[in-house]
Amino acid sequence: MKIKVLAILGLAAILGLGACKSSTNTNTAVVTNTNTMTTNMATSTPMSTPMAAKDTAAETAVKAALDKAGLKDVTVEATTTEVTIRGTIPKGKMADVNRIAQETAKRKVNNQVVEK
């Protein structure tokens, strides 16, 4: 009885594997899509990141506001995306520098100021 069951299972496995074997590729849609995707990726232009332009108006406004507050040892560089402030300030004035730069520039402030 065991031999008959094993023989039937063996024949079924052989027939099943033989039925899966084919000379033509029936999955041509995947191959075509892959080739199209590869071609599109090779010919597409890479995306560029926009460069931040220098904003002299914001730079001047922030520098004037800091000078008015008595913080003269601070330099300002401004672009269209952020304002960078550098320099030294008296101890306890860090919050004032941040507030003035943020309110005047109305954009991200990169604070590199050091307290004395």
Residue 26, pLDDT score: 58
Q: What is the CATH number of the domain that holds 93?
A: 3.30.70.1770
Summarised one tens digit per residue, pLDDT across range 34-87 is 555 555 555 555 666 667 789 999 999 999 999 999 999 999 999 999 999 999
The most confident of the ranges 9-13, 29-33, 107-111 is 107-111
Which whole number is the average pLDDT over 86-112? 93
22 plus 64 within the same structural domain? no
Mean pLDDT across the chain, nearest whole number?
Answer: 81
pLDDT classification of 31: cutoffs 50, 70, 90? low
Which whole number is the average pLDDT over 102-109? 92
Whether pTM exceeds 0.75: no
Residue 43, pLDDT score: 56
77 plus 100 within the same structural domain? yes
Residue 48 lies in a domain: no
One-letter-per-residue 3-state SS of the chain? CHHHHHHHHHHHHHHHHHHHCCCCCCCHHHHHHHHHHHHHHHHCCCCCCCCCCECHHHHHHHHHHHHHCCCCCEEEEEECCEEEEEEEECCCCHHHHHHHHHHHHCCEEEEEEEEC
Residue 40, pLDDT score: 56
Residue 12 lies in a domain: yes
Residue 7, pLDDT score: 84
Residue 39 lies in a domain: yes
Residue 32 lies in a domain: yes
